[in-house]
């Protein structure tokens, strides 16, 4: 199944995506979208709902504070451990969130669980 990287058109976001793409293997599509630069968390969820049903996973490369807000918005209220880990979501952080939805179109706030959080070394 194909995977997708959605990326802001900002130069730094594009540089990040280009560094990550080779590690993601085959069947990864890159879509650069200008509106991701200014999107808020709700707009990001709306964009994710439009992902094609055959896409197995999505990586979104963009900007804070929207991405920290998106991560928190996606987490279930029951995922208290995940929520406490997301208190700090600095630049270059990566949150891997598992979603409990049948399709991307079904994505709603609170439908995820934090699986991994990668923080940059300081």
pLDDT at 25: 87
**Residues comprising the chain, all counted:** 122
Q: For the chain, how far is it from start to end, CA to CA, in angstroms?
A: 36
Domain boundaries, the chain: 3-118
**Residues 86, 17: Cα–Cα separation, whole Å:** 22
CB 84 within 8 A of CB 32: no
Report the pLDDT value the prediction gives residue 90, as an integer from 0 to 100. Answer: 87
Backbone φ, ψ for residue 99 (5° rounding) = -110, 145
If one looks up domain 3-118 in CATH, what number appears?
Answer: 3.40.50.1240
98, two tokens: 């598992």
Check residue 41 and give its pLDDT: 95
| β-bridge pairing 3-8 and 28-33 | parallel
Q: The tokens of 57 are what? A: 């996973």
Sign of CA dihedral 115, 108, 29, 31: negative
Summarize pLDDT for 33-92 with one digit per residue, the tens.
999 999 999 999 999 999 999 999 999 999 999 999 999 999 999 999 999 999 888 888
pLDDT exceeds 90 at position 7:
yes
Question: Residue 108's pLDDT is what?
Answer: 95
Question: pTM for this structure?
Answer: 0.91
Cβ–Cβ under 8 Å, residues 63 and 16? no
């Amino acid at each position: 199944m194909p995977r997708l990287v959605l990326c802001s058109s900002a130069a730094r976001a594009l540089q990040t995506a280009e560094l990550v793409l080779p590690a993601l293997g085959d069947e990864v599509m890159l879509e650069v979208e200008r509106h991701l630069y200014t999107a808020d968390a709700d707009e990001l969820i709306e964009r994710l709902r439009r992902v094609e049903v055959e896409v197995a996973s999505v990586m979104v490369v963009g900007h804070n504070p929207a991405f920290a807000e998106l991560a928190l918005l996606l987490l279930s209220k029951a995922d208290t451990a995940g929520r406490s880990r997301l208190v700090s979501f600095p630049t270059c952080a990566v949150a891997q969130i598992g979603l409990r939805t049948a399709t991307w179109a079904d994505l709603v706030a609170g439908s995820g669980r934090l699986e991994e959080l990668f923080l940059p070394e300081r």
